[in-house]
Structure 1
Amino acid sequence: MEDIEIQMEVLDIENEENEELTFEEDVEEECNRCELCIVGRFLTEKNINTWATRTKLVVLWKPAMGINIKELKAGIFLYQFYHKDDMDRVLNNGPWTFDGALLVMNIVKMREDPVKVSLNEVDFWVQIHDLLVAYMTEMVGKQLRNFFGNFLHYDAKNNSSIWREFMRLRIRIDVRRPLKRKKKTVKKDKTAAVVNCKYEKLGDFCFICGLLSHTEQFGRKKLEVNTGEIIKDWGHWLRAPPRRAVGRNTSKWLREEGDGDWRRQKGKDNYDAEN
C-alpha cells in the first residue's frame, strides 16, 4: 500500500496531459469533409415538422444524383449533394420556404464545422418599381445596392421588352434587418422620386417591424403598444407575383422576350425551309 502511495506522488498527471501529439504529414482527414454540402435553418418561431421539410424540399429540388439530409442539431440541417450542378441549381433558384418559413442557407467549406457556418443572409430577386425607364440600367442598380443589400447580379434580360415595368436585381439580404420598402432618389435635374421594391418568393414576415424571423403574432413590438396604436408599415404589397414561364412560340413570326437575335434566327428558318 505504501509503494502505491509513493508511486502516485511521483506521477505527474498534469505534465502528461499537456504533452503534444504531432500527426504525421501523410495523415488525411477522411471524416466530416462536407463536400458539396449546404447547411441551413428555417427562420421561424413556429414548430417545424422535420420529416415534412425533407419530403417537400426533395420534391422541389429534384436532385438528379440524389441528396442526403441530416439534422445536425435542433433546427440546423445539412444538405449533402452528389453533383455540383444539383447544388448550384438549388442555390441559384432560391430562396426556398416551407409553410411560409424562409430557409437560410450557406455553403460549407472544406473541413469547416457546419454547425458554426454563418446563417444570416439570403439571396433574393428584388424588383425595383416606379423607376424611370431611362434609369433601368445596371449602373443604377449597383448604386442602389448599399440601400437594399449586397448587389450580386443585374437581370439584363428582364429589360429587353418594349415596356420595362421594373428593374430586377439579385440582392443578398441580411435577415437580421427589416425589409427595405422604398427609396427616395434624386435625378440630375434635382427632381426627387420614390422607388418601391417587391421581393420574389418572399415568405412570412412581420408587418409591424419588417423582420423575416417571425410574423406579427410572435413579435415583441405588438406587446409594447396598445392594440389601437399598432401601425403596420409593411404588408403583402412587398410580395412580387409569381413570374410566368415563357412558353414555346406558336408561330415562327411570334417573338417572346429573350428570343435572342431575330435576324440570325430568321436566317436559320429560311435555310431550313430551303433545304
Structure 2
Amino acid sequence: MKEGESKAIWKRLFLRLCTVISVTVIDVFDGGRRFIAHSPTVILTMATTHRDALMYWSYSLELYIWQYRISRFFHTLNTILSKFLLQKYRRLITMADNLHRNLQELDLGVEDEPVALPLDVVNQAAAENRFIIIGRPVIPRRQNIRAIIAALPRQWGHAGLVHGRIVEGRRFQFVFPSEESMENVLRRGPWAFADRMLIMQRWSPLFNPLMLNFIPLWIQIRGIPLQYMNQDVIMHIGRAMGQYMDVDYNAETAVRVEYARVRVNWDVDLPLRFQKNFQFTPGVNTLLKFRYERLRGFCEVCGMLTHDSGSCLIQNGGMDHDSEDDDEDDNEEPLL
C-alpha cells in the first residue's frame, strides 16, 4: 500500500471517529434521550480506532452520570422545599385566621345599654333545650365533630328527632325531645366514633365543665375469691379504681359468679388498668382482672384513651399531636 493511500484511509477513519463522538456528546447534553441507542456504535468504533477515543467516551459517560445525579438532587430538593413552604403557608393562614378572630374579641359595645329579650321567647328557648347531652372526642384528630353529629342520631335510632350542634372548645351537643330518650342513650353508653371513645354527659345550666373528663364505664371484675364475694367487697374494689357509681350484683338472683360488675366514672387522664393486686388477707396478694364493657381504641403501651400507640410518649419520646391537628372551624360553626 502506498503512502498516499494509507494517509487517506487514516484521514477517513479520523473523520468518522470525530463525527461519532460529536453525535454522542450532543446526545449527552440533549438529555441522553438517544445516548443508549448510540452506545454500541460508539464502543465498537472506538475500540477499533484508537484508545484515546475510548477514554473520551468514558468521560462522556461520567458526565452523563453526574448530570443524572444533579437532576435527582434538585428534584429531591424541590420536593423538600415544596413541603416546607406548604407547611409554612398553612401556619400563616392559621395565624391570619386567629388574628381575625381576635380582632372581633374587642369590647366595643360593652358599655351600650343592655337589650331585654321577651320573657316568653326566653322561656320557650329554655323549654326546648332542657334535655341536652354534651360531649367531646378523646382524640379530635381522628374524630371529626361534624361526622360525629351526623352519625350518632342514626346510630341511636333518633334520626330527625335529635339535633346536634357544635359548641366552642371542640365540643358538641345533642338536643333530645324528651328526658326518656336522652336517658336511654346515656344508659346504653358509653359511645364511640371512629373506633375511639366519646365523652358524653347530661348538660344543665349548672353543668361543671370538668365532668367532660369522665366516661361512665361498666367494668367486669374477675378473680374475686368466692368466700369474699359480696356487694360491699365489689363496691370497695370499684372505689379503688375510680369514682364509684353503681354495682350490679345480687347474691340471691345471681346465676353466674364468673365476674362481678361495677360502674365507675373513669377519668380519661388516667391510664386503664387491666390487672391489679388486692389483699383480702393482710400480706397476701390476689390478682384481679378487669374487662371494660363497650371499650374501644386505646394506647396498648400505656393504657391511655387520649392517644394512640404511635403518639405514645413512653414508646416514642415524642409529643402527642392529636390535639393540634383538628380543624378549628369545627369548633365554632353550628350544625343544626
Does the TM-score normalized on the shorter chain lie above 0.5?
yes
Aligned mate of 1:177, from 270, 279, 299: 270
Name structure 2 gaps, 5 residues minimum.
Answer: 1-108, 319-336
RMSD: 3.4
Equivalence for 1:151: 244
Aligned residues: 208
Shift of the alpha carbon at 1:155?
0.8
Equivalence for 1:100: 195
Instruction: Determine if the alignment matches structure 1 residue 85 to structure 2 residue 151.
Output: no
Name structure 1 gaps, 5 residues minimum.
Answer: 1-15, 226-275
Give the strand-richer structure, 1 or 2.
Answer: 1
State the Cα deviation string for residues 126-170 of structure 1 (Å, max 9, x = none): 010111233332201221133211111111269844441001111
C-alpha change, 1:180 and 1:158, in structure 2 (3 Å) is: farther
Name the CA distance, whole Å, in 2 between partners of 1:132 and 1:68: 48
CA contact (8 A) 1:45 1:214 kept: no
Structure 2 length-normalised TM: 0.54
C-alpha change, 1:28 and 1:49, in structure 2 (3 Å) is: closer
Name the CA distance, whole Å, in 1 between partners of 2:240 and 2:157: 35
**Bigger radius of gyration, 1 or 2?**
2
| Secondary structure at 2:312 match in 1 | coil
Amino acid in structure 1 at the alignment position of 2:204: K
Name the CA distance, whole Å, in 1 between partners of 2:151 and 2:252: 33
Name the CA distance, whole Å, in 2 between partners of 1:55 and 1:205: 24
Shift of the alpha carbon at 1:117?
6.5
Name the CA distance, whole Å, in 1 between partners of 2:110 and 2:296: 52
Structure 1 length-normalised TM: 0.64
| Secondary structure at 2:315 match in 1 | helix
| Secondary structure at 2:185 match in 1 | helix
Name the CA distance, whole Å, in 2 between partners of 1:21 and 1:56: 40
1:132-147 matches, cutoff 5 A: 132-147=225-240
Name the CA distance, whole Å, in 1 between partners of 2:248 and 2:160: 29
Name the CA distance, whole Å, in 1 between partners of 2:169 and 2:245: 31
Name the CA distance, whole Å, in 2 between partners of 1:83 and 1:21: 34
Equivalence for 2:20: none
CA contact (8 A) 1:64 1:86 kept: no
Shift of the alpha carbon at 1:36?
0.3
| Residue identity (%) | 23
Aligned mate of 2:290, from 185, 197, 214: 197
Give the helix-richer structure, 1 or 2.
Answer: 2
